[in-house]
Structures are given as C-alpha cells and as structure tokens.
Structure 1
Amino acid sequence: MAHKKAENVLVVPQREDFNSPQVNFFQDFLVNSAQQKIPLSNTISLWDFLPKYSISQVEQNKIRTKEGRLPLLRRNVAFQGFEYTIFISPALLADENGRDYYPSANESLVEDALRKIATLQNQCFFNPLESHCGVIFSLHQLRVELKKHGHTRSYQEVMKSLQILAGSGIEIRTQHGKGVSIEKFMSLTGFSSEARLGNQNSNWVAYFHPLVYRAMNAIDYRQFNYQQMMSLKTHLARWLYKRLAHYYTNASLTTPITLSLTGIQNESGMLVRSRTNHAVSELEAIFQNFQEVHVFASFERIKRICGAKNRIIDIVYRATPHPNFIKTVKAANKRQSDTKGKAYLSLQ
C-alpha cells in the first residue's frame, strides 16, 4: 500500500507564539496553589487513545526480518462509537545497522514528558497561521523529567526514542476510508547554534502531531494527574488511566465504571495473549494497582462469558471510583468548562 508523505516545512517558533491565548489556556490549570499544579498535565482527545504505542520491543523482534526491517503496521480500532484504521510506518535508524522500530512504551513516556514540559512557562508555542504547536526543551531537561517519575533513561536511549518518534509515520482513517491525517508522530529540529546530538544542553524543538494542535485550538483536552499516571507500572495501565481521566466525566460513587476485557483489548491493541487467563491476570493486576493509588475504591467481576470447553471469551467488570479520583475528574470538568468560557469571551 503506497503512502504519500506529508510535506512539512518546519518554521522556527517566534516570540509571539509562546504568548498565544491557546498556550495560556493549555498551561492554566484549576488549582489553589502553584504547588498543586506540579503533578498536572493534559490528555488529548483521540490522539492519546489510539493504539499507536501498542507493539512492544519483544513483539517487534518476533516480526522483524533478518535484515532488520518491519512491515507497515495496520490496526483497526473501535473507540467511543467510531471506527478507525491506523497505519504505522516504522522509523529506520541509521545508527542501528539499518533496523526498523515502531514507537512503543518508551516513546509514549517521552511524548508524555514533553507534553508535561509544554505546561511550563515559555516552553510551549502555538502558531495558528502555520497550524502547528510544540515545545522547546533540552535533552538534559527531558532526561530529568523522566527520571523524576522513575523512568531513568540514558542520553542515548532518549535520543533513540526521539529519533523513532520523528521517523515513524501514522495515517489515521475513519470507517469509510477518509483520512484524518498522514503525519509523523512528531517533528524534531534543533534551533540553537549549539544544537548537536552530543550536546545535552542544546535547545531542541518538538512539533506535536496535528491532532494535538487541533485539541489545543478547540480546547479538546483535559487536566489530569500526570504524576500519578507516570507512577503506574505498565504502558497499558498508563493508557487506561488516561482514558478514564479523559472520558469518565460523570465520575461519582453512584456511577460505577463498567469495563470489559475484550473492550480494553480492542481499544488499546494490547493484552492479546494466547491464553486468556494470562490476559485476565494482567488486567486484574492493573485494577489492583489502581486501588493502591486510589483510582478505584473497589472492583468486581459482574459477568463472565465462556465458549466451548468453558474457555473464557470475555469478562465484564464494575469498578467504584475512589473519592480522590472523583475529585480530580470534577476539577478537570470545571477547568475545561471555564477555559471554553474564557476562549469564547476572548473572541467577542
């Protein structure tokens, strides 16, 4: 299947791009003090929930050819009542003996860390004329941010993840084949005179995916506890945490969360195991982790669907949200409502 690469001309962000109203809204959280802002970041509608980081390094090694190449990856996903097909083209790294890589859990952590850095003053930019947004950062700053949350990475590992993100392409199609976008996961460039791969303190620019730009422009993002999300043990747990924080907007003790094994498998592109019992054990370990960090107060199986020879086909769960999680969701609701109100008034 042939794909036309998107033509992007990277424009160095200007001073006014860092003072855009959209940047101010993106960095303005609903808190009572500066200290309360520290754990927070933003989830991005649709972009954060596509199964784009779902192929682990182990799985990649199984399908990589002896020449080190990987095929174009196709994923079908049903999400929030819509059906999408995504195509991911791997990044070819010249310093890895010509090996291809799909973005995976490491690259997801790097993107999350960059988006957190984008909530800091004078680091995020937004340009409506060029239709792009992003963040300036140094490699040292990015490594410090990752280490702060228990994800220590070497300079070489961070550079590799950035190169994979900048080299991998993603095409997103709707149910009827209409393209949403054909872009790189992000674009990356150095803009300081010291910008060299060997200089950890040089300044770099990451241009986020156009869906992040659209979300910033439409205020289609929500504040969430990034610090708590980064503390979770697995990529699937972090994906599910962000999904709940973004879409479970009616959180209350009287409105339990209903989740199913097959629903999570289909939406995340993960947790597909040869033995369903293993998938169940992994998922329930995540739910236990959610209890430990006060996302869930409790959870229980409410339905078990079995096929021939009593083989598990699906399990449906009901989880009661913890009061702490309910509080964060309500704060996110108010912040989003207030921000949209401010944006409307700014246009009058």
Structure 2
Amino acid sequence: MPKTPPPMLPIPSLQYDLFSHFVTNNDSAISNTIEFWECIPKYFLTPAQIKKVTPEMGQPDPYKWSYQLEGKSYTIIIQPAMLEEDDGSFKAYFPGATEELVEEALKKILSNQHFGIHDPNLRETWVRFTLSMIYRELKAKGRSRNRIQIKRAINIMARCVLTLYQGKKEIWSGSILQDLVTVDREEYLEDTQAYHQARLPLFVSHAIDRIEARQFNYERLMKCDKQLSRWIYKRLIHRYIQADYCNHYHFMYSDLKNSGLLMQSEETSNRKKVHAALEELKQNGVLNFFEVTNVKSKSGKSVCDVKYTISPSGDFIAEQKAANKRRKDNLDKASKENYTIPSVNK
C-alpha cells in the first residue's frame, strides 16, 4: 500500500494553533494528552510476558487484550514489528516502555509549530523530527535513551500494527507512527540529524479538531519511573478535572486492570504494585495523600476489590485549574472564529 505523502508546507489551522498554546509560565514543562488514545493499552507487554506467549520455536503471535472504557467493551490486537537484526535474522518487537517515552517526546515536539502540521481538511496530523531531537528531549527530562534505542523505537512504532475493536466491530487499524518518511536523506534513519516525518493516528487529529487535547505537566509525568504511575497520572488528568483539597477522588483496583499493567501471577503482588505507583505519585508531587480500603467478598473471607481515595497536591490542583482555563479559552476563541466542532463517533 503506497504511503501518504506529508504536506510540503504549513497549513493554516485554528485548531492546531489552539493545540500549540498552553496556559503556563513554562512551556517546556507542558504537553498535551488525548484521553481516548492514551486509554488504548499498547505499551504494557514486558519481555517476560512476551516470552510466555512465544512458541518454543519461532516468533510470538499477535497479542490480544480486552478492556472497558466508559461502559463500552474494547479489544486491542497488537501485531509485533519484525525488525532485521545485525546477523540478518528477524526478531519480533512489541511496543513497550521505551516506545511510550518516545511517543511522549514526539507529542511534545508536535506542540512546537516549527515541527507539526495539522491538515483540517484531511484530518491528518504530521510531526517532523530528528533522532537527535528526541535524544535531547528525553535526556532533558531524565529519561535518556541512546540513538540506537531511539532508532529502534521509531521502527517498532512504525511497523507494529494495532487493531482496535469496539465489541465485535473493528473501528481502527494502524501503527503508532504511520507513513514514516525521511525528508532530507536517502539513508533510512541513518543520519541522526536528518529530518523525518510521520503521520499520527486519527485519534490525535480528531482530538485537535474537537479541541479535546488536555494540557498537563509532562515534566512531572517523565519523572515517574513506573509505567503504572504514568498511567494513573494520565487518568487523573482527564477524570479528576475539579481537583480540590475538599473534593477527594476515588477509583477501584478493578478499573486499573484496563491498563494491562497488572499481570503478576498473584493479586497481592498486583496490589503492592498499585501501592508503589501511588507512593511514587505522592513523592513526585501529584498526590497529597491516599487511602486504601479493601472491599470484601459477600462471605467476608477474601478481598474482591480495592478502593483508592486520593487527595491532590497543591501543584496538581493548580495544574488542573490551568488546564481548565486553557480549555475554556480555546472554546471561546473557537466560538469567536465561528468554528464548528465536528462530531466523532468512537
């Protein structure tokens, strides 16, 4: 299938202008998060889990995972990327933590109008980058990866295939980075200073068009060592909008299963993992405190679920208020420009 060529010139777009503007005194610390796209579990497989699903002789099959979102049932099938090794053999790679961090760096780069293009007519969004840009961005945020690791991550993101179903209906299929092309060199991802361009999934474009992207403290996210901490933090950003000292927020352990990150053999180990993630969020200035309440089964002999009640930090409250103001300002600007927000069926 031929690749879609990237736009050659910037395209005027009110929606992209709003996406690129933040309510903050420190632009470098702020980025955008897109709830529906972030909720698709895609970075949860560890090498140990991959080994379990790999046949004794051969490569792993695509991985299938089901989850719930807003009362709807979804299934994601992840087909790994097949990359050529130095010895000429091919190895399957699922997207993981490094790819998650590279995507965060690319979303940050996208918010810079020198490196992003949004086509409101085709509803396509492109990001322009070099390996060195990603390297510097990750290093600045304490998540250093070398250029070889970044190059591999880009290849994995471009060559893995995600297929998303709502119920039994397929609603989307594609890679995390689509139509990856080099711009300035013939050598494919060889020159770390060469510019490359990739089209982002339609969920990103739809969020820009619908003014749904929410600003958040990306610097604080990147301080989190644990993937589960980052997943919970993103969830709080989208769900705990009216964060306040007098307005505590709670969620259930069973809800966190949707992340795909709680796959220890024993539930007690999974619950310890959640506790450690919440402790990290507290240490990194997201939470003031949290409480854990076990929910017993009808017999009262076992724990069937866990309720987590959290109190936000002052920083998190301020950041959520800034995100709310940004959204209000953006909607007001869109209204003044007579921009009609398109409807999207998910």
**Structures share a fold, TM > 0.5?**
yes
Query: Does 1:331 pair with 2:325?
Result: no
- How many matched pairs? 336
Q: Cα offset for 1:197?
A: 2.6
- In structure 2, what is the equivalent of residue 28 of structure 1? 21
Quick check: 1:74 aligned with 2:67? no
- Local SS of the residue matching 2:85: helix
2:343 aligns with none
Matched, 1:219 2:219: no
Identity, in percent, stands at: 27
TM-fit CA distance, 1:58: 2.2
Match of residue 9 from structure 2: 15
Q: Aligned to 2:5, what secondary structure does the other structure show?
A: coil
Aligned counterparts of 2:225 and 2:285: Cα–Cα separation in 1: 15
Residues 309 and 93 (structure 1 numbering): CA distance in 2 closer, same or farther, change over 3 Å? farther
Residue 233 of structure 1 corresponds to 225
Q: Which residue of 1 aligns with 2:127?
A: 135
- Confirm whether residue 244 of structure 1 aligns to residue 239 of structure 2: no
Contact 2:13 2:120 in 1 (8 A): no
8 Å CA contact retained: 1:256, 1:318: yes
In structure 2, C-alpha distance between the alignment counterparts of 1:316 and 1:243, rounded to whole Å: 15
Structure-1 separation of matches of 2:118 and 2:65: 30
* TM-score where L is the length of structure 1: 0.91
Unaligned runs of 5+ in 1: 1-6
SS in 2 for 1:258: strand
Offset of 1:178 from its aligned partner?
2.5
The residue type paired with residue 14 of structure 2 is: P
Please identify runs of 4+ aligned residues in structure 1 that moved more than 6 A.
Answer: none
User: Where do residues 92-107 of structure 1 align in structure 2 (5 Å cutoff)?
Assistant: 92-95=82-85, 97-107=89-99
Within-5 A mapping of 1:99-118: 99-118=91-110
Is residue 282 of structure 2 the alignment partner of residue 291 of structure 1?
A: yes
User: Partners of 1:123 and 1:135 in 2: how far apart?
Assistant: 6
Listed as ranges, the matches of 1:54-73 within 5 Å are 54-73=44-63
Q: Secondary structure at the match of 1:38?
A: helix
The 1-side partners of 2:299 and 2:94 are apart by 36
Q: Which residue is 1:160 aligned to?
A: 152
Q: Distance in 2 between matches of 1:68 and 1:189?
A: 30
Q: What code does the residue aligned with 1:245 have? A: I
| Kept after mapping to 2: 8 A contact 1:296/1:319 | yes
**Does the 8 Å contact 1:90/1:103 carry over to 2?**
yes
Contact 1:51 1:268 in 2 (8 A): yes
Residues 185, 191 of structure 2: 8 Å contact kept: no
Bigger mean CA offset, 189-198 vs 204-213: 189-198
d(CA) in 1 for partners of 2:13 and 2:69? 32
Question: Residues 182 and 189 of structure 2 are in contact (CA less than 8 Å); yes or no, is this contact kept in structure 1?
Answer: no
User: What is the rounded CA distance, in whole Å, between the counterparts of 1:106 and 1:300 in structure 2?
Assistant: 31
Contact kept, 8 Å, 2:127 with 2:197, in 1: the verdict is yes
| Deviation for aligned residue 1:182 | 1.3
Q: Alpha-carbon deviation of 1:305?
A: 2.4
Residues 239, 223 of structure 1: alpha-carbon distance in 2 compared, 3 angstrom cutoff: same
Residue 3 (structure 1) aligns with: none
- Hey, what does 2:342 align to over in structure 1? none
Using the alignment, how far apart are the partners of 2:133 and 2:187 within structure 1? 14
* Structure 1 residue 102, shift from structure 2 partner: 1.4
Q: Give unmatched runs, 5+ long, in structure 2.
A: 340-346
In structure 2, distance between residues paired with 1:134 and 1:44: 16
Distance 1:336 1:158, change over 3 A: same
Helix, strand or coil: the match of 2:242?
coil
Structure 2: how far apart are the matches of 1:26 and 1:199? Answer: 30
In the aligned structure 2, how far is the partner of 1:272 from the partner of 1:57?
Answer: 13
- TM-score, normalisation: structure 2: 0.91
Aligned in 2, Cα 1:134/1:286: closer, same or farther, shift over 3 Å? same
State the secondary structure of the residue aligned to 1:16.
coil
**CA apart distance, 1:167:** 0.5
Determine the C-alpha separation between the residues in 1 that align with 2:148 and 2:123.
Answer: 31
Q: Is the 8 A contact 2:83 2:91 kept in 1?
A: yes
